[in-house]
């Protein structure tokens, strides 16, 4: 028996080292991929829009590329609980109810995600864009059982309440995690401990602080990401008040300092590829395009893959351009994101170009050359300096073309090049 126990202990350590996470009975071997309703529809989400998104995931090939979670964000619920305290879908916007929505998704080979808050009100209710006070405070076990009965597979749990310590948030998230486990249904728990953006005493990057193991499967590590290159653009063009947002460059830079922990995945926020500023309350101007330029969209997908981050699309899938679809379904980039290996990291700079490296599970390496600057940069990668032996081959993941490791590589302004290096 002692030897058996010891073997189990070793096995648990191996699983933790592989970065697996669990909500008691969930076992994630890779960061989840899917689609979230917020960036495209906000509080305008309806049963019809979710049906359309699900159908588009299937017809576009995104489901088969790995995007399987369909997460219905804030504002899906009736503004009042039922007489026994239960949640229910908004009868006007989700007339068939949430269990029926779950069946619709499951019938198409998709998974059902939903949104709640451990506070008394959700973020939309706090902000005044949706009525009622239907957060999970006082209803954690009841809500977990309700979600399980609807066939929910994923819960986005968004801290929207008063400022709190990390320990208090961990306890709140952990209570829901336990309640989900006790239902017996595997439900992934994704938490956002960003606290109130309007409170300067609580840093927006609180999710990047400390070790959240045991509290959730996915943990947000910073501000909401918008389809902008950096927050300096937003500060110049828009009046943000005390609400801070982040662009792609801000988020990549902040992620350098966020450590990886066994037991959960760091979540730098959703993909904004193909999303529009106008649907997020920031109209485009002469100096700020409505959507990310193609080079910057590539940066987000590639760098999220290097970080081993969840890939949650947020665009209107029914109006997706062929270019957006091709990028989001890039098999080579997705394979790097889903690799069962530790997240990559920045290992140095060559002039203005950052060099990022990720050791992949099968022995290959992913090398990203990332240019955050506003001018194109031509560089050479010194393979020997980063431990790549002579004779290895590098293939452009997005181009499919071989690249001599000692040859010149031009990286566009605010752009990235990604290579998969194979030796032997």
Nearby residues of 203 by Cβ (< 8 Å), 6 or more positions away: 209
The active-site residue out of 73, 153, 224, 230 is 224
Closest CA to 112 of 144, 149, 76, 68: 68
Compute φ and ψ for 370, nearest 5 degrees: -115, 125
Q: What is the pLDDT of residue 7?
A: 36
Taking 70 as the threshold, does the pLDDT of residue 404 lie above it? yes
Cα separation of the two ends of the chain:
43
Lowest pLDDT segment from 26-30, 78-82, 106-110, 257-261: 26-30
pLDDT digits (tens, 9 = 90+) for 257-272: 899 998 999 999 999 9
**In the CATH scheme, what is the code of domain 20-337?**
3.20.20.70
The active-site residue out of 22, 74, 158, 269 is 158
pLDDT digits (tens, 9 = 90+) for 374-384: 999 998 888 88
Q: What is the pLDDT of residue 207?
A: 85
Q: What is the pLDDT of residue 205?
A: 59
Answer with the residue of higher pLDDT: 13 or 236: 236
Q: What is the pLDDT of residue 1?
A: 37
Quote the percentage of the chain above a pLDDT of 70.
87
Q: How many residues does the chain have?
A: 424
Sequence spans of domains, the chain: 20-337, 345-422
pLDDT digits (tens, 9 = 90+) for 335-380: 999 999 999 999 999 889 999 999 999 999 999 999 999 999 998 8
pLDDT digits (tens, 9 = 90+) for 127-178: 899 999 999 999 999 999 999 999 999 999 999 877 788 889 999 999 999 9
Taking 50 as the threshold, does the pLDDT of residue 408 lie above it? yes
H/E run at residue 396: strand 393-396
Lowest pLDDT segment from 8-22, 185-199, 403-417: 8-22
Q: CA 171 to CA 268: how far, in whole Å?
A: 22
Beta bridge partners of 371: 415
Q: What is the pLDDT of residue 238?
A: 52
Where residue 51 falls among pLDDT bands split at 50, 70, 90?
very high
* Residue 22 a catalytic site member: no
Q: What is the pLDDT of residue 35?
A: 98
H/E run at residue 422: strand 415-422
Q: What is the pLDDT of residue 302?
A: 98
CA-to-CA separations, 201 to 142, 205, 235, 246, 370, in angstroms, rounded: 33, 12, 20, 19, 33
* Residue 267 a catalytic site member: no
Whether residue 375 contacts residue 295, with contact meaning beta carbons closer than 8 Å, is answered with: no
3-state secondary structure labels for all residues of 314-343: CCCHHHCCHHHHHHHCCHHHHHHHCCCCCC
- What does the pLDDT average to over 178-196? 90
CATH homologous superfamily, domain 345-422: Golgi alpha-mannosidase II (2.60.40.1180)
Q: What is the DSSP string of 179-224?
A: HHHHTTS--EEEEE----TT-TTS-GGGGGSS--TTT-SEEE-SSE
């Amino acid at each position: 028996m002692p030897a058996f126990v010891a073997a189990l202990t070793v096995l648990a350590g191996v699983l933790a080292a592989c970065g697996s996470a669990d909500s008691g009975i969930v076992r994630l071997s890779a960061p989840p991929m899917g689609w979230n309703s917020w960036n495209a529809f906000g509080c305008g989400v309806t049963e019809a829009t979710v049906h359309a998104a699900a159908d588009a995931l299937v017809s576009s090939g995104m489901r088969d590329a790995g995007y399987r979670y369909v997460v219905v964000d804030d504002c899906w619920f009736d503004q009042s609980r039922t007489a026994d305290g239960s949640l229910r879908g908004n009868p006007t916007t989700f007339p068939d109810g949430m269990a029926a929505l779950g069946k619709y998704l499951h019938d198409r080979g998709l998974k059902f995600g939903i949104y709640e808050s451990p506070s008394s009100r959700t973020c939309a209710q706090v902000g005044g864009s949706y009525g009622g006070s239907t957060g999970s405070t006082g209803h954690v076990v009841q809500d977990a059982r309700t979600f399980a009965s609807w066939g929910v597979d994923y819960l986005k749990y968004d801290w929207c309440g008063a400022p709190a310590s990390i320990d208090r948030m961990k306890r709140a998230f952990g209570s829901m995690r336990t309640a989900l486990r006790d239902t017996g249904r595997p439900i992934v728990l994704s938490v956002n401990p960003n606290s109130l953006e309007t409170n300067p005493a609580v840093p927006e990057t609180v999710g990047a602080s400390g070790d959240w193991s045991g509290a959730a499967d996915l943990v947000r590590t910073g501000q909401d990401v918008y389809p902008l290159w950096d927050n300096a653009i937003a500060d110049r063009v828009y009046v943000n008040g005390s609400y801070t947002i982040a662009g792609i460059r801000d988020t990549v830079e902040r992620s350098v300092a966020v450590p990886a922990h066994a037991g959960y995945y760091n979540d730098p926020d959703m993909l904004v590829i193909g999303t529009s500023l106008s649907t997020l309350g920031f109209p485009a101007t002469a100096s700020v395009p409505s959507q990310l330029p193609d080079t910057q969209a590539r940066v987000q997908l590639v760098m999220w893959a290097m970080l081993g981050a969840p890939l949650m699309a947020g665009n209107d899938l029914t109006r997706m351009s062929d270019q957006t679809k091709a990028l989001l379904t890039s098999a080579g980039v997705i394979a790097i994101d889903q690799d069962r290996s530790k997240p990559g990291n920045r290992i140095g700079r060559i002039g203005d170009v950052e060099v990022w490296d990720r050791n992949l599970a099968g022995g290959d390496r992913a090398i990203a050359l990332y240019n955050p600057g506003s001018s194109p940069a031509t560089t050479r990668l010194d393979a020997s300096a980063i431990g790549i032996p002579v004779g290895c081959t590098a293939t452009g993941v997005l181009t499919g073309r071989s690249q001599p490791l000692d040859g010149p590589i031009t990286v566009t302004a605010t752009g990235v090049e990604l290579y998969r290096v194979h030796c032997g």
